[in-house]
């Protein structure tokens, strides 16, 4: 029999190894959650990340209340002003308050995390489950299609799809979501394959349970935790992808602020007004970093093996 | 031990060789050479192909020459033709060609070559079709080896400027011998003209190098041996390259960064007028089928912040569609675009939507255009008019303008001024095709005036005629002429002497002198 | 082994056809006409429908999409990638000019990242929980979290605007001027390598940690072998297997990831070529670039698989 390619198997194995060790059994209880939370917050970095992310989320939610200025209303007489007491992060090329735009831009970034994820999840996970459970020609067909998608550098594919769909925030997010289907489906398939060899699945099958029943009540609950961890580590990349698309002018339409498009505009003034691009760039950096920190913390807290070492 | 030290020696030797190589390369730089920074790539130098970039024009006018040359004052001067006569009925023009002119490939300039060029420009099956605006020329014939006769289908006041390649690069004369020997595909990248410079090397997307044509027929007081056009797409990177001395001439500058460039020692700056920026409104569909809504836009727009913030002061508020560098421009009529919120409110009320309306504008997604629209958006918002910006890439923008007006109700475009060809300039505004929101001014009187224009030879009469068209367009506000932009340029006066722009607003290649620094 | 290789190469064909056809279809469906891209915007209104028809016919764009695709495929099989609609040059020439730029960026970045990341990864794994580990961890985290356009901007502001040590962009061929070529490579390569470095460092660390927990390492330790000897003699080789794989994979991935960097630093690479071609609806160039990138990506994956088998004798590809 043909072995899977090392690249693929490594890709799968890594994510499976990352996640399978801490796959919780179906009966996660309140005390388990408390234990998890205690572990999670025991260390300073996840704590720091958690606080930062809460700040970003609050900033996004309450942007209309806490923003010092209207994010899209320009003040022509105050264009390209350096940070000051009146404008804490300065003003942009046509005199809009950079801080207010960053606060509103946080909404786009959070949206950017949610919409692509829901697309990838709602298509990728079922595909992976079906593929891993039915095996045979269905599996072959699905995997061939996914391979075609995976055979192409991700960001190029996203740019191509977004470019073809036309510039708008929704199209950009759809493109990111569609491209995210393949890796998620692959991961789910790998997890499903290994879970379906487990005793409880074999037992259920011996008792005559249908594929659907096995999938929904035995496999899915057992691989959920692993998938959640992987996804939490992906969110940062998704936000970066939105920022990149907006940076390239394929995302949000002006004058609405997105961090990526703000950097693109500011890019033209790096000598005369560097704050226009550096401030939103830093916002992207800090947000993505705290999401990654959270993902790391999540994995460590769920994984006693790695922790005890 | 021994092994290790020998490999280290080898590494050192390699480094040394590399440095030697590097220094020998820079030693060659003793040539009189300078670098022009451009933001777009030249794609083809076959003049029967279309190419919309400014860089393309700059390079084309160095390699090729027209029959007649346009002076900076708008006069028509000899170039490849030494003199010309127009028949009394204005139906034929006879041109005498310059003797002893050779193309870069060595073939001589003769009447057959010129006839081949002109007839090719008229032939829809040659190259990419009739790309040139050669007015009402019917055909060209060779009378003898150095005499060409051009036959007109009707008199055309614009014919001499057209032959001077005033409207586009297509009336530039290519070497027929080289074209036919190489075939069109090859020729596009190995062009052969009669100009003061010829192509030395060309790396698409990186750099195009021209070298001096030692056999140039004309007077050339310059000493520049090589001129490179280096592509730097990113505007701020281009600025930094100029500041560091890697680039010596720059067009299409980010206006707010102009002071930084001017601060570079030896820098001289200037600006070239560049037509008119218009907001084109689709008058075949709501909301702009109502003239009051169109006028409301004109009154509501605030042009001063655009001029100051986007153009760094290098633009003027528009007075109609005729650009200020045109013979037909008038300071009096129509009035300049002025903000008048009360008048705008009155127009909105007259249109039946006193609280404003919504519309979408398609624009090419270039930062400065988006910036202009954001400012427009803010000034219209004060009246409840909600402008949505659709920042498209060029293909989608054109689709929006031409094929699919459902994408947008309006477009933001720049109409380039062709200095001499008023017809070519005014034509984009006219048209009754309901599917085009380009400008699409469907007005019988305007169309009739446009059709009549080529037969008016008297320049005062021509100016009055164009003025009448300008007034009509203003009165119907079919497109809002917004401002007349100017593109700034800078060059290092301490390195380049004899820098001048010709009548086309392009580099004048005859006098470049590189100062020994 | 030979049959395995053949089968892998054979399996590339359907993938390539699916990818190129999908892209072709999507591009065809999106609004915009390659013919209109040949004309300046303000002359678009004057282009008559007959003009457009003629140009379309000349470029073969008037045929049904499946005919166009089949034609293209047939041409490709004969080794002809066609001619760019917008740039008018043979697609092969464009790819030959652009691909080396991107490849050089990718290879140098992966090289720089590996040279820095692998030793740091080993160091942090040997002393887990130490201050070095902590700092290494933070740096790696920052590396994966920083958008590369932001890194590029900061590098430009610091090294080009403030210190004026390095040029801010523009590209010079090595054949033209090696010193200026190298100068202009530095900032883009550093930018690209930050994220790579982070990934490689993390992977080296975790892989090393795993190996150090293996039985044979414990045995070695119980025999009283020194830490240094254990790390470098016993653990390193095994720990590096997944690292090598990942580094190889990154070369493929970064071939696409250079696009933003190419734009910021004005580099004439594949990413820029593809983006421009998509925007100009320049089908032959889009198809050619997609084909080349996919092929390179899959080729590198294959190469990585083979290397993998080569360094790890436990793996045998049999048929």
A180-209 per-position pLDDT tens digit: 998 899 889 888 888 887 888 888 888 888
Helix (H, G, I), strand (E, B) or coil at B226: strand
Residue in C10, C256, C276 to test binding to A, most A beta-carbons within 10 Å = C256
Residues, chain A, total?
309
3-state secondary structure of A108: helix
Q: Which residues of B touch A (CB under 8 A)?
A: 234-236, 239-240, 254, 256-257, 260, 302, 305, 308-309, 365, 367, 370-371, 373-375, 377-378, 381, 388-393, 396
Say what the pTM is: 0.86
Per-residue pLDDT of B425-439, as tens digits, reads: 787 777 776 555 566
Alpha-carbon span B448 to B460, nearest angstrom: 19
With cut-offs at 50, 70 and 90, classify the pLDDT of residue B379.
very high
pLDDT value at residue B9: 52
Please indicate if any CB of chain B lies within 8 Å of the CB of C175: no
Q: Which helix (H) or strand (E) holds B70?
A: strand B68-70
Residue of C nearest to B233 (CA): C266
Q: State the ipTM, two decimals.
A: 0.84
The number of CA neighbours under 13 Å toward the Cβ of B248 is: 19
Which of C37, C171, C173 is the closest to B395 by Cβ?
A: C37
In this structure, are residues B322 and B430 in contact, taking their beta carbons and an 8 Å threshold? no
Q: Where residue A307 falls among pLDDT bands split at 50, 70, 90?
A: very low
Percent of chain B with pLDDT over 90: 38
Please tell me if residue A248 touches chain B, with a CB cutoff of 8 Å: no
Chain C neighbours, 3+ Cβ pairs < 8 A? A, B
A249 touching B (Cβ < 8 Å):
yes
CA distance to partner chain A, nearest, from residue B355 (Å)? 19
| Contacts B433 to C, Cβ<8 Å | 45
Tokens 């260390």 correspond to what residue? Answer: A43
Three-class secondary structure of residue B481 per DSSP: strand
Interface test with A, best of B253, B360, B375, B406 (most A CBs within 10 A): B375
Choose the closest CB to B371 out of A94, A167, A267: A94
What is the chain A residue with the closest CA to C299? Answer: A151
Q: For residue range C94-153, list pLDDT tens digits in order.
A: 999 899 999 999 999 999 999 999 888 888 888 877 888 888 888 888 888 888 889 999
CA distance C281 to C59: 13
pLDDT value of residue A303: 62
Find the residue in B nearest to C169 (Cα). Answer: B237
Q: For C283-297, what is the mean pLDDT?
A: 89
Residues facing B501 on adjacent strands: B507
Chain A residues inside the 8 Å CB shell of B313: none
> Three-state DSSP class for A260?
helix
| Residue of C264, C274, C305 with shortest CB distance to A5 | C305
3-state secondary structure of A91: strand
- Residues in chain B with CB shorter than 8 Å from the CB of A253 are 388-391
Residue B30: its pLDDT value, please?
61
Whether residue C27 and residue A164 make contact (CB cut-off 8 A), yes or no, is yes
> How many other CB atoms sit within 10 Å of the CB of residue A80?
18
Residue in B256, B302, B396 nearest the CB of A272: B256
Q: Maximum CA pair distance of chain C?
A: 87
Determine contact: A76 vs chain B, CB below 8 A. yes
Please report residues of C whose CB lies closer than 8 A to that of B240.
156, 160-161, 167-169
Distance CA B183, CA B190 (A): 10
Q: Report the alpha-carbon distance of residue C316 to residue C319 in Å, rounded.
A: 10
Chain B residues 209-238 within an 8 A CB cutoff of chain C: 230-234, 236-238
CB-nearest to C257 from A145, A153, A278 is A153
Residue whose entry in the numeric block shows the structure tokens 């400027």:
B161
The C-alpha atoms of residue B448 and residue C57 are separated, in whole angstroms, by 33
Cα A148–Cα A149–Cα A154 angle in degrees, nearest 5: 140
User: Is B259 at the interface with chain C, CB within 8 A?
Assistant: no
pLDDT tens by residue, A289-304: 998 888 888 877 776 5
Place of tokens 């297509």: B170
End-to-end CA distance of chain C: 7
Structure tokens at C302: 């294959």
Three-state SS string across C162-221, please?
HCCCCCCCCCCCCCCCHHHHHHHHHHHHHHHHHHHHHHHHHHHHHHHHHHHCCHHHHHHH
A-B contacts (CB, under 8 Å): 71
Question: Distance, in angstroms, between A80 CA and closest chain B CA?
Answer: 9
**Predicted pLDDT of residue B343:** 95
Quick one: pLDDT at residue C138? Answer: 84
- pLDDT number for residue B439: 66
Nearest chain A residue to C25 by CA: give it.
A164
- H-type helices in A81-97, by residue range? none
Contacts with C, B 433-452, CB within 8 Å = 433, 436, 438-440
B87 in Cβ contact with B93 (< 8 Å): yes
Q: What is the pLDDT of residues C27-44, one digit of tens each?
A: 888 778 888 887 777 677
Taking the C-alpha atoms of residue C168 and residue C188, their distance in angstroms, rounded to an integer, is 9
* Residue A134 Cα, gap to closest chain C Cα (Å): 22
Mean pLDDT value across residues B173-184: 94
- Interval B326-344 mean pLDDT: 84
Assign residue B20 a region (left: φ > 0; alpha: ψ between -120 and 50; beta: otherwise). alpha
Distance CA B473, CA B453 (A): 16
Q: Does C159 touch chain A (CB under 8 A)?
A: no
SS3 content of chain A, % helix, strand, coil (to 5): 75, 0, 25
Across the range C216-221, mean pLDDT stands at: 76
Q: Is the pLDDT confidence value at B1 over 70?
A: no
How far is C206 from A4, CA to CA, in rounded Å?
23
Which one is predicted more confidently, C98 or C305? C98
- Interface contact A274-C209, CB threshold 8 A: no
**Which of the other chains make 3 or more beta carbon contacts under 8 angstroms with chain B?**
A, C
pLDDT at residue B168, as a whole number? 62
Residue A309 pLDDT: 33
């Amino acid at each position: 029999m043909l072995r899977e390619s090392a690249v693929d198997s490594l890709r799968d194995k890594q994510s499976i190894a990352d996640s399978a060790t801490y796959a919780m059994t179906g009966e996660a209880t309140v005390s388990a959650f408390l234990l998890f939370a205690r572990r999670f917050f025991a260390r300073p970095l996840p704590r720091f990340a958690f606080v930062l992310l809460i700040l970003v989320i609050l900033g996004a939610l309450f942007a209309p209340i806490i923003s010092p200025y209207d994010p899209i209303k320009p003040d022509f007489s105050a264009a390209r002003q350096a940070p000051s007491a009146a404008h804490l992060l300065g003003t942009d090329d046509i005199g809009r308050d950079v801080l207010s735009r960053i606060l509103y831009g946080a909404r786009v970034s959070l949206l950017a995390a949610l919409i692509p994820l829901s697309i990838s999840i709602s298509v990728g996970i079922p595909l992976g489950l079906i593929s891993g459970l039915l095996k045979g020609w269905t599996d072959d067909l699905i995997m061939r299609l996914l391979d075609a998608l995976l055979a192409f550098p991700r960001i190029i594919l996203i740019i191509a799809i977004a470019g073809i769909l036309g510039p708008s925030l929704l199209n950009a997010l759809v493109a990111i979501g569609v491209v995210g289907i393949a890796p998620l489906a692959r991961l789910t398939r790998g997890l499903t394959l290994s879970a379906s060899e487990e005793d409880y699945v074999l037992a259920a099958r011996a008792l005559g349970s249908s594929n659907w029943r096995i999938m929904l009540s035995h496999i899915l609950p057992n691989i959920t935790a692993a998938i959640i961890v992987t996804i939490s580590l992906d969110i940062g990349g998704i936000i970066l992808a939105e920022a990149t698309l907006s940076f390239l002018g394929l995302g949000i339409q002006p004058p609405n602020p997105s961090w990526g498009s703000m950097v693109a505009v500011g890019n033209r003034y790096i000598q005369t007004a560097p704050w226009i691009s550096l401030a939103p760039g830093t916002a992207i950096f800090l947000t993505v970093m705290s999401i990654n920190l959270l993902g790391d913390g999540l994995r460590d807290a769920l994984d006693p093996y790695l922790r005890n070492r | 031990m021994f092994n290790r030290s020998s490999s280290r020696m080898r590494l050192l030797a390699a480094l040394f060789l590399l440095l030697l190589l590097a220094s020998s390369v820079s030693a060659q730089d003793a040539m009189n050479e300078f670098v022009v920074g451009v933001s777009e790539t030249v794609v083809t130098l076959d003049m029967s192909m279309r190419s919309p970039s400014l860089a393309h024009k700059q390079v084309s006018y160095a390699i090729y020459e027209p029959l007649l040359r346009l002076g900076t004052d708008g006069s028509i001067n000899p170039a490849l033709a030494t003199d010309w006569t127009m028949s009394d009925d204005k139906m034929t023009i006879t041109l005498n060609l310059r003797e002893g002119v050779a193309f870069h490939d060595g073939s001589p300039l003769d009447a057959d070559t010129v006839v081949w060029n002109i007839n090719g420009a008229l032939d829809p099956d040659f190259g990419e079709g009739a790309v040139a605006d050669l007015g009402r020329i019917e055909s060209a014939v060779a009378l003898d080896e150095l005499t060409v006769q051009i036959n007109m289908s009707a008199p055309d006041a614009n014919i001499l400027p057209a032959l001077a390649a005033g409207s586009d690069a297509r009336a530039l004369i290519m070497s027929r011998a080289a074209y036919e020997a190489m075939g069109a595909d090859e020729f596009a990248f190995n062009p052969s003209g009669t100009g003061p410079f010829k192509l030395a090397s060309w790396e698409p997307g990186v750099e195009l190098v021209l070298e001096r044509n030692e056999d140039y027929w004309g007077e050339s007081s310059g000493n520049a041996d090589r001129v490179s056009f280096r592509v730097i797409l990113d505007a701020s990177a281009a600025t930094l390259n100029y500041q560091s001395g890697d680039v010596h001439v720059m067009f299409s500058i980010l206006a707010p960064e102009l002071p930084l460039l001017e601060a570079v020692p030896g820098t001289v700056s200037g600006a070239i007028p560049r037509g008119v920026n218009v907001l084109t409104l689709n008058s075949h569909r709501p909301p702009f089928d109502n003239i009051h809504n169109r006028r409301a836009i004109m009154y509501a727009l605030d042009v001063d912040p655009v001029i100051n913030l986007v153009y760094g002061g290098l633009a003027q508020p528009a007075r109609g569609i005729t650009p200020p560098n045109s013979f037909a421009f008038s300071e009096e009529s129509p009035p300049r675009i002025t903000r008048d919120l009360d008048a705008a409110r009155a127009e909105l009320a007259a249109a039946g939507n006193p609280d404003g309306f919504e519309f979408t504008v398609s624009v090419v997604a270039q930062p400065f255009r988006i910036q202009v629209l954001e400012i427009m958006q803010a000034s219209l918002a004060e009246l409840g008019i909600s402008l949505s910006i659709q920042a498209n890439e060029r293909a989608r923008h054109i689709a929006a303008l031409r094929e699919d007006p459902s994408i947008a109700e309006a477009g933001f475009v720049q109409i380039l001024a062709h200095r001499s060809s008023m017809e070519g300039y005014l034509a984009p505004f006219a048209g009754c095709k309901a599917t085009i929101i380009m400008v699409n001014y469907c007005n019988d009187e305007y169309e009739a005036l446009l059709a009549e224009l080529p037969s008016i030879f008297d320049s005062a009469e021509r100016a009055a005629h164009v003025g009448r068209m300008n007034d009509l367009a203003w009165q119907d506000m079919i497109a809002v002429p917004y401002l007349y932009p100017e593109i700034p340029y800078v060059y290092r006066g301490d390195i380049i002497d004899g820098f001048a722009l010709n009548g086309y607003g392009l580099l004048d290649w005859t006098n470049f002198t590189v100062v020994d620094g | 082994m030979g049959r395995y290789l053949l089968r892998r190469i054979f399996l590339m064909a359907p993938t390539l056809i699916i990818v190129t056809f999908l892209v072709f279809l999507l591009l065809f469906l999106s609004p915009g006409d390659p013919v209109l891209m040949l004309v300046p915007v303000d002359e678009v209104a004057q282009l008559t429908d007959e003009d457009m028809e003629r140009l379309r016919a000349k470029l073969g764009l008037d045929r049904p999409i499946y005919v166009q695709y089949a034609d293209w495929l047939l041409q490709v099989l004969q080794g002809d990638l066609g001619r760019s609609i917008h740039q008018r040059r043979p697609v092969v020439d464009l790819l030959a000019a652009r691909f080396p730029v991107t490849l050089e960026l990718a290879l140098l970045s992966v090289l720089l990242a590996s040279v820095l990341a692998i030793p740091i990864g080993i160091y942090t794994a040997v002393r887990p929980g130490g201050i070095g580990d902590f700092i290494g961890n933070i740096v790696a985290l920052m590396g994966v979290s920083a958008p590369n356009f932001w890194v590029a901007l900061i590098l430009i502001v610091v090294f080009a605007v403030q210190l004026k040590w390095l040029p801010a962009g523009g590209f010079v061929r090595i054949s033209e001027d090696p010193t200026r070529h190298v100068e202009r490579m530095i900032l883009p390569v550093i930018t690209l390598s930050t994220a790579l470095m982070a990934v490689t460092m993390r992977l080296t660390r975790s892989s090393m940690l795993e190996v150090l927990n293996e039985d044979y390492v414990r045995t070695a330790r119980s025999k009283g072998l020194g830490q240094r000897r254990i790390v470098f003699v016993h653990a390193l080789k095994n720990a590096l297997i997944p690292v090598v794989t990942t580094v190889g994979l990154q070369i493929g991935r970064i071939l696409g990831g250079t696009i933003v960097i190419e734009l910021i630093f004005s580099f004439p690479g594949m990413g820029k070529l593809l983006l421009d071609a998509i925007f100009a609806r320049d089908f032959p160039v889009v198809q050619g670039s997609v084909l080349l990138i996919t092929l390179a990506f899959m080729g590198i994956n294959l190469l990585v698989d083979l290397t993998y088998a080569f360094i790890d004798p436990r793996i045998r590809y049999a048929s």
